[in-house]
Amino acid sequence: MRMLTRRRLLATLPVLASGLASPLRAQPAAPAGAATTLFQDVRIFDGTGAALSAPSHVLVRGNLIERISTTPIPAEAGTIVIAGGGRTLMPGLTDMHWHAMMVRSTPSQAIFGNLGFNYLSAGAEATATLMRGFTTIRDMGGPSFGLKQAIDAGVLPGPRIYPSGAVITVTSGHGDFRQQTELPRSPGTLSRMEQIGGSMLADSPDEVRLRVREQLMQGASQIKLTAGGGVASPFSPLDVSTFTAEELRAAVEAAENWGTYVTVHAYTPAAIKRAIAAGVKCIEHGHLMDEASAKLIADNDIWLSTQAFPDEMAEAFPPGSGERAKAYSVFAGTEKTFELAKKYKLKIAFGTDILFSAQLATRHGELLAKFARWFTPAETLAMATGTNARLLELSGLRNPYPGKLGVVAANALADLLLVDGNPLENINLVADPHRSFVVIMKDGRIFKNTLAR
Structural domain contains residue 343: yes
The answer to whether residues 368 and 412 belong to one domain is no
The interaxial angle of helices 205-218 and 245-257, nearest 10 deg, is: 30
Neighbours of 265 (CB within 10 A): 29
Number of domains, the chain: 2
CATH code of the domain in which 71 resides: 2.30.40.10
Please check the confidence at residue 32 and state whether its pLDDT lies above 80. Answer: no
Cα separation, 26 vs 45, whole angstroms? 31
- Tell me if the bond preceding 184 is cis, omega within 30° of 0: yes
DSSP 196-246: TTSEEE--SHHHHHHHHHHHHHHT-SSEEEE-B--SS-TT--TT-B-S-HH
157 and 183 part of one domain: yes
What mean pLDDT do residues 266-293 have? 97
Q: At 95, which helix (H) or strand (E)?
A: strand 93-98
Sign of CA pseudo-dihedral 206, 208, 211, 214: negative
Give the rounded percent of residues in the chain with a pLDDT score beyond 90.
81
State whether 176 and 204 are in the same domain: yes
Q: Which amino acid type is present at position 334?
A: T
Domain co-membership, 135 together with 66? no
Do the domain assignments include residue 146? yes
Residue spans of alpha helices (H) in 258-363? 269-278, 291-299, 322-331, 334-343, 358-361
Q: Evaluate whether residue 11 is within a structural domain.
A: no
Segment 171-198 mean pLDDT? 91
One domain for residues 132 and 241: yes
Share of the chain above pLDDT 70, in %: 92
Single-letter amino acid code for the residue at 206: D
Beta-strand runs (E) in 99-192: 134-139, 160-163, 167-169
> CA neighbours within 13 Å on the CB side: how many for 437?
28
> Is residue 159 domain-shared with residue 263, that is, in the same domain?
yes
> Residue 97: which domain range?
93-374
Rg (CA), the chain: 22
The answer as to whether 74 is a domain residue is yes
Q: Please tell me whether residues 67 and 190 are part of one structural domain.
A: no
Minimum mean pLDDT range among 88-102, 107-121, 278-292: 107-121
Q: Is 4 inside a domain boundary?
A: no
Identify the pLDDT of residue 385.
Answer: 98
Angle formed at CA 120 by CA 117 and CA 123, multiple of 5 degrees: 150
Residue 311 shares a structural domain with residue 431:
no
Query: What gap in Å lies between CA 282 and CA 96, rounded to an integer?
Result: 11
Is 394 within the bounds of a domain? Answer: no
Cβ atoms of 241 and 270 closer than 8 Å: yes
369: left (phi over 0), alpha (psi -120 to 50) or beta: alpha
pLDDT for residue 33: 53
Q: What was the pLDDT predicted at 362?
A: 94
CATH number at residue 107: 3.20.20.140
pLDDT score, position 188: 84
Ramachandran assignment for 442, one of left (phi > 0), alpha (psi -120 to 50 degrees), beta (any other): beta
SS3 category, 448: strand
380-419: pLDDT as tens digits: 999 999 999 999 999 999 999 999 999 999 999 999 999 9
Query: 356 in a domain, yes or no?
Result: yes
Model confidence over 230-271: pLDDT tens digits?
A: 998 888 999 999 999 999 999 999 999 999 999 999 999 999
Of 356, 374, 392, the one marking the end of a domain is: 374
Q: Are residues 53 and 78 in the same domain?
A: yes
- What is d(CA 399, CA 391) in angstroms, rounded to the nearest whole number? 11
If asked whether residues 346 and 427 sit together in one domain, one would say: no
Is the domain of 259 the same as that of 341? yes
